[in-house]
Amino acid sequence: MDRRFELVVPASAAHRRLEDHLLDEFTTVSKMYLRDLVRSKRCEVNGRNENIGYRLRANDLIEIWIDETRGTAMVAEPLPLDILFEDTDLLVVDKPAGMLVHPSHREKRGTLLNGLAHHLNQNGGQHIRPGLIHRLDKETSGLIVIAKNAVAHRSLCRSFLKRHVQKRYSALVDGVVKADDDTITAPIGRFADLKHWSVKEDGKHAETKVLVIERSMDTTLLELEPVTGRTNQLRIHCQSIGHPIVGDTRRGGRAAARLYLHAASLAFPHPTTRELMTFVSNQTFRRSPDADRDGDGDGFTGVIR
């Protein structure tokens, strides 16, 4: 059942966005739920419906109707995290393969954001919500940056949108790639009837730079740089040139212990200082002394510490 709350905006919160103020006031409900309340006109400022970006003024009166049994924020869990960097604005995490980035309808525990919710708030004080800037698939390992406040979140999102971010991935693909370097340009779209993303003639422009790192008898280790950021772009583009990623059985790759796709390096301007931040993963692919130890025939052990 909805409960009505009245908030008088203090002078210290003047010029803040409505969304940011609500997130600080109601820490036990999710961001998406609060946004939905504003958009569905269950939140008023001085008797008017404003959008989430409305800039507050001192003594504004906020009235909001919240069902506290819904929209619960993610459960904080003490999970092992490989944090490469952290300051007051952001942190960079080296995610293992097999870990979801955020809770889903099926999996609500054990995700990266569950672990970060615990890490960021274990000492009490002001509640910090981990803010997603970009995502990695559950099966993909590697670097991901998380914002610790709303200002940093918006700044980092702009950097990603304007392509001021450099991302490079390692991928082990089936077959021997002949060209030492290449650029794959193939539009990507969603086939609604199949609920599947793939190369599509009327899809959105997608571009990936490819560099061969190492060739073996029947696999190739590649460095992939996504110039654009379409859904499943790297998997789709590798399939499109006849070299699907090992472990990507849905797109023709051989079965393996894991998906051999890894976010190996990440560079972006710091949201406050604008200094270029560059990170390299602690994880890597390596050849096994026992070439078929993990049973997939590729001669690599996968991601190791």
Catalytic residues, which ones?
137
The answer to whether 169 and 114 are in contact (CB under 8 A) is no
> C-alpha angle 88/91/97, rounded to 5°?
165
Sign of CA dihedral 293, 298, 303, 305: positive
Query: What distance in Å separates the CA atoms of residue 171 and residue 137, rounded to the nearest whole number?
Result: 14
Query: What distance in Å separates the CA atoms of residue 239 and residue 174, rounded to the nearest whole number?
Result: 9
The answer to whether 62 and 19 are in contact (CB under 8 A) is no
Query: What distance in Å separates the CA atoms of residue 226 and residue 204, rounded to the nearest whole number?
Result: 14
Radius of gyration of the chain (CA): 22
Cβ neighbours of 124 (radius 10 Å): 6
Burial 201-225 (b: 16+ CB within 10 A, else e): eebeebbbebebeeeeeebbbbbbb
Beta-bridge partner residues of 284: 304
Closest C-alpha among 178, 213, 184 to residue 284: 213
Q: Where are the alpha helices (DSSP H) in the chain?
A: 18-25, 31-39, 112-121, 150-161, 233-240
